[in-house]
Structure formats: structure tokens, C-alpha cells
A and B are shown apart, each in its own frame.
Chain A
Amino acid sequence: MLRYVSAALVAGALVGTTAYSASGIRLQTVDGVLIDPFQTPSGTKAVVLTFVSVDCPISNRYAPELRRLYDRFASQGVLFRLIYPNPAESIDTIRRHLKEYGYRGQALRDPRHELVKIANATVTPEAAVYATSGQLVYRGRIDDRYVNPGLQRAQPTRRDLEDALSAMLAGKPVSHATVPAVGCFISDFLR
């Protein structure tokens, strides 16, 4: 828990120093603090917003992979934020989920789908990668493990999110800007 508190404080202290254009939206952290999801400390090279939900089995199965990517890229200036777009999921539920699945990175609620609309996210899990310019660099699946909800590969053959981050950090273009993701539909959460 301490990590989230301190992350929020750091973000709060750095208001105005971010290179991102302000989105104008404020989302609630699990500590009840409102922050701009694009606000970042200096030195940040990219922001990864991953849309997740608590009882979507496909979303949950990606927890170990998201942890692996965090461990690989967080130290290289990539900021990871988890976005919970289901208004039915309370702060307490989200806190428990973060702990159970060992997620890393800051968690934000997006109950009115403000960020969902900006990022054009459609399912959980889905990732949106933004460059320091505020430009969307990649949006879509984490990897190709799921062909559809009923067809799963034993292991992924393409790791789209990892490839996008590696390309970006190496100053190369990202090969596919968007790749459809498989999972639970976010639009169903807001009916």
C-alpha cells in the first residue's frame, strides 16, 4: 500500500512538470486521491495504461505477464498504471484484487469511462502505450495467447506490448499501432 501512497504523492508534487499535454480528467486512486492519468514524474519515457477487471478470467490470467513486463521496463522509465473501468468494482474490491494477483504499478478507477474513451479501449485486458509527446503509440492486446475467448495458445507467438515498449525505448517505430484484444467487453460495464 505504501507504494501507491508515495506514487500519488510524487505525482502530486510534480504537477506542471509533466511533458504530457493535460487530459483534463482526474481519476481516483485506491487511496482516494484524484490524479491526471497522464501526469508523470520527469524522466518518464512512456506510460502504459492497462485496462483490467476483477472477475474477468482472461484479464486475471495476464497478471503474471504484467508483473514480468513491469519488472523489465519500470526501471527504464516506463510508468505502469492499471485502469479499472467497471463502476461496480469498489476501491476495497480493487485493493483486494491488487494484493491477490500481485499487481505492480498504480491503480486508478475509471467508472465513467473517461479514460476508456480517450484510449479507445474495448476489453479487459487491453493496454494503451503513450509516448512523452502524449501521442498514442500502441493500443491493443498484451500478446496473442488468446485467439478468441474459447481458443488459447499454449504460449504466445507475438508479445505485442513488450515489442512496442522495446521498439519505443530503442527509438524505433512500433510495427503495429493497434491490435485487437480478446477479453471482457468494457462497454457492458456501463449500461
Chain B
Amino acid sequence: MTFETSRYIGTGGPGRTRPALQVISWVVLTIAASARVTSAQGVPTFNKDVAPIVFARCGTCHHPGGPAPFSLLTYGESRQRATLMAQVTKSRFMPPWKASPGSGPFVGQNPLTADEIELIQRWSTSGAPEGDSHDLPRVPQFHEGWQLGTPDLIVTPSRPFTLQAGGTDVFRIFVIPVPTSTVRFVRGLEFLPGNPKVVHHANIRLDRTVASRRYDDADPAPGYEGLIAHSATYPDGHFLGWTPGQIAPLLPKGMAWRLDPGTDLVVEIHMQPSGKTETVAPSIGIYLGSDPPERTPVMLRLGRQTIDIAPGDASYTITDSFVLPVDVEVQAVQPHAHQRARTISGVATLPDGTTKTLIEIGEWDFRWQHVYRYVAPLRLPKDTTLAMRYAFDNSATNPRNPVLPPRRVFWGQRSADEMGDLWIQVLTRDSSDRRTLVDRFRPKVLAEDAIGYERVIQSDPNSIALHDDVAQIYLELGRADEAATHFATSAKLKPDSAAAHFNLGTSLAVSGRVDEAMSELRLALKIQPDYARARNNLGGLLLQRGRANEALDHIREAVRLEPANIEARTNLAAAHAVLGQFNLAVEAIETALRLNPTESVAGLLRLRREAYKQGVLPAR
């Protein structure tokens, strides 16, 4: 079911200045807390010793209405959980911070010191006394709702989702259209979980196509479970996500990302049942800026989709690496894996052989999928090797193994499958370096995606959407034969679809199988005679085969059907030229030039026009 947006709110007001002040007051509190620990002697009390730690380190989530399951801000609330606080701080389950010391420093990296942990132990075992009320520091104020100020746009699912009382964690994808009729530039998103007791984290992507909406429509309940469409991506190299206590700051000026009309937010939400039936209705606030981006980051991804872990294998390892073709600044990283991953490591090896730890997690917990933002960007020179190494435990002794007795497990997006990715957000010096980096990186990540698709297709062989998606990937990779194989399957699954035969014909043409290509295009035209692009491509192939008169008929028809089709006009010119009708060829090129082609196409068109004017055929 596709969501509608329920509200549209006007320009955000002056509430924006609040977060900056809040950050400052946190820093002050944190310092105060550390100072107090060292001065604590004898039996610690809540008011003097524990409250400063709780207010600074726990209160962000554990306040009334906050994302944690209970508040700890008053003595009564903390006292009732003193032993639990001592237990979970000692085990470092709380405050939740999975990255090992040695990577970072990261924004929000604020683990308790050994002294603080020891103090909470002593307070708990001494009967958790309250102490003198004069010692109690000012209780921090947390305002509910938007932490980044009033958003410019707020979108919510049109219907809330009902989460069952029991059972295992639920991962559900909600597709929410953004109501904008013009291009906007986004400085930030804030996610309000709606029901923080059950919403554990959210990952947000953008889909500029209808692919995600189709998946959602196929499921009658709000949202859907399953694959994230290939077209749903992080926007312009920016992470969009939420974990309790972690709100991504607004982007600085010049770093906004572009939001086109017709875009859907694809919001993957991890929910943990609470014991009773729960209603989940998140909202997403969008903060707009007025300026287009001056710098756009690149999202790199290391990881393997070849994952295939035998049952019982307690130390299955994947590794991946990429050599940077340009200098970069690493802004943030986000490791992603499912339940069987145990250890996670990302390392940069510089050309001089020195290494920098990007991220290290000794005990991976899929429930805490943080984005780790470096306090200061990590500068890495050209020729640095980025590498990742993840270890998985598919044995029965792994308490997090979701399938017992263990079974063979492959790569896949469902929570019972496994994944192993390290997302790395980098900035390049300029747009030319950015282009170099993207050109080098994209084929690598697409080839990995193709492996994942092939795996998923093995278990879902009749999904036309999967075959079409992977065929597009193969076409972009220049592997037209493999593209044709998948388009052929789509055409077999949907023999009455003109588009399926067109796709197959076009991919066959790209791989040089002209006769087969022509016969598929003719099939497409038999189903849909007014299919302009099929006519045009068929005309182009006939021209290649020297059948110019026949070609001209098809191309003329394509131009008649789609007068603004630049490729059809270009083919028309070529057909006329082959037949010696150079005046008509020049005329067709000039019409094409008036149709606002991109600068690179216009350049090619001008070259052709010059050749035709001189009565010669341009070099192919």
C-alpha cells in the first residue's frame, strides 16, 4: 500500500537555532560529569555523583517521552533500576556504543569512563542513596518533538502500521511520496519514530522511480517486507537514518541534496515487539535550503554479495577493498550486517604503508546500526587502499543466530539472510576528482550488485522486476550478452509486453547480435505498432545492414510518432545521407539541434552537419 502524505507545513521558523545551543550545553554537562567523578569519595549518592552522569550520558534517550523505554531523570526512576544500571553499564550494553576505542573520534562517541562505571557499581551496592538535595545539578530540559526545529515539510504514512505483540523483530519498508512540485534542496531530515518503545532504527533512501511504490502496492498492509529496490538510494552521497539518541545535524551551506518532484522516501524501519499490540506512525521532517549543492559527497560501499555460509561455520569471513584514485576526506562510515555477523573492521592503508582504522566493532549487534561521523574528516591520499573484513558465526552456539538448527545462508536483504557492507562517505577536492572516483568505483559496486541479484533470482526466478533490474546493471557494465539473457527471460515471462521485446532487442543490438535484435524489435512492433523507439532502433539496424530504403520508412514513422525524439532525427539524417539526400540530412540535424540536446550530443550533431554539408558520410 502506498502512503499519502498527510500534512504540508510552511516554511520553518526560527526554532533552528536551538540545536546548536543544546550541543553546547551537552558539552558543558559532560565535562562537569567527568570532574565530579574524581572528587567522589566514600559512598556515592544520586544527587552528587550519579545524577550528573545520568543527566549527561543517559538522559538524551532516558527522559519522559524519549526513545528509551523508561526515564531515569529522577532519583525515584534511577533508584528503581540501580542494579540494572550497574549491570548494563559494566557490560557496556549501555550507553549503546559499539565501536571499539581506536577508531574515530566520532560525533557522539561518549562511552562511560572506567571511573564512572565503578561509581555506579558502588552507588548500587551501597543501597543507591539519594544524598543531599542541594547537590542535585539542574535537571536537563528535553523538549519533545522536532529537535532540529520546525521542519519545512512533514510527511507521514497515511495509515499507521500495527505491530504484533510478540515474535521476532520486524523490518518493514514504508514508501512515502514527498509533496513537492518543484526541485528542492534538502539540508536535513529528522525522523520521529512515533512509537519509540518499539521503533529501533530507521534507514531512509530516495526512489525517483515507481519501483518502490510498486513493491508497497503489492502488500495490502501499510508498507512491505522484502527487497529494497535498486533505484532506492542514499541521495547524492548522504546518509539518511535514525537510531535512538542519534540525529544527523543539518548539512552546512553548499552541501544540500537535490529533491526532485515525484520522489518517494523509502523508509526501512526496524521494530521490536513490546509484548502488546502497538501502533507505529512515524513522521519525517524535511528541512529545506535555498541553494543548490556546491560539493556533493560520494558514497562508497565495500562488501560482498557472494556470502554463502555453511551451517555450523563459526568463522566465515568476507573481505573487500578498493584503491582510491584521488585524494578524499572521509566524513562518515556505516557498517551494515545482519544477525550472524560477529566482528567488523574497516581499515585504510596509506601509500606509505601506515594504516588508519576506519571502524572496528568487536561484538556486532544488528540492533545498533549507527552512522559513525568523524569529528574531523579523515584525510586519505590517492592510492590509499580501503579494506573491510567481516566475520560471521553460523553455528548453533551463536545466540544471535536466527535460524536453529543453523542452515546454509546466502546474501540477501531479508533479516534471516546475511549482508556485509561498509558504507563510506567521502568528499573529493573538486568535481573533476569526484567524476574520476565515481567512474572508477561504480563498475565495482555494480558488479557486486549483479552477484546479489543473481542470488536472489535463484530463489525468485519468475520476478520480471528482478530480471529487468539486473539487465540494466549488466548494460551499464557493458555486459550486453548477460543483459540480453535476463531481458529474454522477462520477455518469456511476459510475451505480450512490447517493452519486454524492445528491451531484449536493444540489448541484443548492443551485443552485436543484429539479426536476433531485429526480430525482437519486429515482435515489439507487432504488439504495439506505434512504438516509436522500437521503430527508430529497427530503422537504425536496417541502416547498418545497408537496407536504407526500408530503414527510412521506419525512421520516418518514428519521427512522426515522436517529433521531439533527437535520436530519431539523427537516424533520419543518417538514412537520407546514405541515400545521397544530403540537403534533407542537414535539415534533420538542424531540427535535432533545435530540440535542446545536451552539449555533448550537440557537438556530435554539429560534426555530422558539417560532413553532410560537404556531401560525405561521417566516420562512425
Chain A residues in contact with chain B, CB under 8 A?
55, 57, 59-65, 86, 88, 100-102, 147-155, 157, 184-185, 187-189, 191
Among B87, B128, B274, which residue has its beta carbon within 8 angstroms of that of A149? B87
Kindly name the residue among B81, B87, B399 whose own CB sees the greatest number of chain A CB atoms within 10 A. Answer: B399
Query: CB-CB < 8 A to B168: which residues of A?
Result: 154-155
Contact in complex: B166, A184 (CB < 8 Å): no
Closest 10 CB pairs of A and B: A150-B93, A64-B166, A60-B275, A154-B402, A185-B83, A63-B275, A57-B69, A61-B275, A101-B276, A64-B165
With A150-B365, A153-B400 known as contacts, the answer to whether A61 contacts B166 (CB < 8 A) is yes
Beyond A150-B94, A157-B404, 19 additional pairs, beta carbon < 8 A? A57-B274, A60-B274, A61-B273, A61-B274, A64-B275, A148-B87, A148-B93, A149-B84, A150-B93, A153-B400, A154-B402, A155-B168, A184-B84, A185-B82, A187-B83, A188-B128, A191-B79, A191-B82, A191-B128
Q: From residue 99 to 157 of chain B, which have CB atoms closer than 8 A to chain A?
A: 127-128
Contact in complex: B80, A188 (CB < 8 Å): yes
Nearest chain A CB to B147's CB is how many angstroms away? 23
Complex-state Cα separation, A62 to B168, whole angstroms:
12
A–B complex contacts, Cβ < 8 Å, 12 sampled: A55-B69, A149-B84, A149-B91, A151-B399, A154-B168, A154-B403, A155-B402, A184-B84, A185-B81, A188-B84, A191-B82, A191-B128
Query: CB-CB < 8 A to B169: which residues of A?
Result: 154
Query: CB-CB < 8 A to A188: which residues of B?
Result: 79-84, 128
Contact in complex: A148, B91 (CB < 8 Å): yes
Q: From residue 402 to 424 of chain B, which have CB atoms closer than 8 A to chain A?
A: 402-404
Nearest chain B CB to A99's CB is how many angstroms away? 9
Complex-state Cα separation, A62 to B276, whole angstroms:
10
Contact in complex: A63, B399 (CB < 8 Å): no
Among A88, A102, A151, A184, which residue has its beta carbon within 8 angstroms of that of B165? A102
Query: CB-CB < 8 A to B79: which residues of A?
Result: 188, 191
With A60-B274, A61-B166, A63-B165 known as contacts, the answer to whether A189 contacts B401 (CB < 8 A) is no
Complex-state Cα separation, A61 to B274, whole angstroms:
5
Query: CB-CB < 8 A to A150: which residues of B?
Result: 88, 91, 93-94, 365
Contact in complex: A62, B275 (CB < 8 Å): yes
Nearest chain A CB to B401's CB is how many angstroms away? 7
Q: How many B residues have CB within 8 A of the partner chain?
A: 34
Q: For residue A99, which residue of chain B has the nearest CB?
A: B276
Contact in complex: B83, A149 (CB < 8 Å): no
Contact in complex: B401, A101 (CB < 8 Å): no
Contact in complex: A151, B400 (CB < 8 Å): yes
Nearest chain A CB to B167's CB is how many angstroms away? 8
Kindly name the residue among B81, B167, B276 whose own CB sees the greatest number of chain A CB atoms within 10 A. Answer: B276
Contact in complex: A100, B91 (CB < 8 Å): no
Kindly name the residue among B168, B275, B339, B404 whose own CB sees the greatest number of chain A CB atoms within 10 A. Answer: B275
Nearest chain B CB to A163's CB is how many angstroms away? 17
Query: CB-CB < 8 A to A157: which residues of B?
Result: 404
Complex-state Cα separation, A102 to B82, whole angstroms:
29
Query: CB-CB < 8 A to A185: which residues of B?
Result: 81-84
Q: For residue A149, which residue of chain B has the nearest CB?
A: B88
Query: CB-CB < 8 A to B365: which residues of A?
Result: 150-151
Q: For residue B96, which residue of chain A has the nearest CB?
A: A150
Contact in complex: B276, A154 (CB < 8 Å): no
Nearest chain A CB to B77's CB is how many angstroms away? 10
Query: CB-CB < 8 A to B69: which residues of A?
Result: 55, 57
Query: CB-CB < 8 A to A151: which residues of B?
Result: 93, 365, 399-400
Complex-state Cα separation, A99 to B96, whole angstroms:
32
Query: CB-CB < 8 A to B8: which residues of A?
Result: none
Complex-state Cα separation, A151 to B87, whole angstroms:
13
Query: CB-CB < 8 A to A147: which residues of B?
Result: 399
Nearest chain A CB to B393's CB is how many angstroms away? 13
Q: For residue B71, which residue of chain A has the nearest CB?
A: A55
Contact in complex: A63, B276 (CB < 8 Å): yes
Complex-state Cα separation, A88 to B273, whole angstroms:
25
Kindly name the residue among A65, A150, A151, A187 whose own CB sees the greatest number of chain B CB atoms within 10 A. Answer: A150
Complex-state Cα separation, A43 to B478, whole angstroms:
77
Query: CB-CB < 8 A to B128: which residues of A?
Result: 188, 191
Complex-state Cα separation, A100 to B275, whole angstroms:
9
Complex-state Cα separation, A154 to B404, whole angstroms:
9
Residue B76, interface by CB 8 Å: yes
Query: CB-CB < 8 A to B339: which residues of A?
Result: 154
Query: CB-CB < 8 A to B197: which residues of A?
Result: 57
Nearest chain B CB to A51's CB is how many angstroms away? 15
Complex-state Cα separation, A59 to B70, whole angstroms:
13
Complex-state Cα separation, A56 to B14, whole angstroms:
39
Q: For residue A52, which residue of chain B has the nearest CB?
A: B275
Contact in complex: B80, A155 (CB < 8 Å): no
Query: CB-CB < 8 A to A59: which residues of B?
Result: 275
Complex-state Cα separation, A191 to B130, whole angstroms:
10
Complex-state Cα separation, A161 to B167, whole angstroms:
18
Q: For residue B79, which residue of chain A has the nearest CB?
A: A191
Query: CB-CB < 8 A to A55: which residues of B?
Result: 69-70
Nearest chain A CB to B334's CB is how many angstroms away? 21
Nearest chain A CB to B366's CB is how many angstroms away? 10
Nearest chain B CB to A15's CB is how many angstroms away? 34
Query: CB-CB < 8 A to B83: which residues of A?
Result: 185, 187-188
Nearest chain A CB to B45's CB is how many angstroms away? 13
Complex-state Cα separation, A152 to B399, whole angstroms:
7
Q: For residue A184, which residue of chain B has the nearest CB?
A: B84
Q: For residue B164, which residue of chain A has the nearest CB?
A: A64
Q: From residue 297 to 315 of chain B, which have CB atoms closer than 8 A to chain A?
A: none
Complex-state Cα separation, A112 to B434, whole angstroms:
68
Query: CB-CB < 8 A to A187: which residues of B?
Result: 83
Query: CB-CB < 8 A to B165: which residues of A?
Result: 63-64, 101-102
Query: CB-CB < 8 A to B82: which residues of A?
Result: 185, 188, 191
Nearest chain B CB to A117's CB is how many angstroms away? 17
Query: CB-CB < 8 A to B399: which residues of A?
Result: 147, 151-153
Complex-state Cα separation, A117 to B274, whole angstroms:
29
Contact in complex: A102, B276 (CB < 8 Å): yes
Query: CB-CB < 8 A to A61: which residues of B?
Result: 166, 273-275
Among A101, A155, A184, which residue has its beta carbon within 8 angstroms of that of B81? A184
Nearest chain A CB to B136's CB is how many angstroms away? 18
Complex-state Cα separation, A150 to B96, whole angstroms:
10
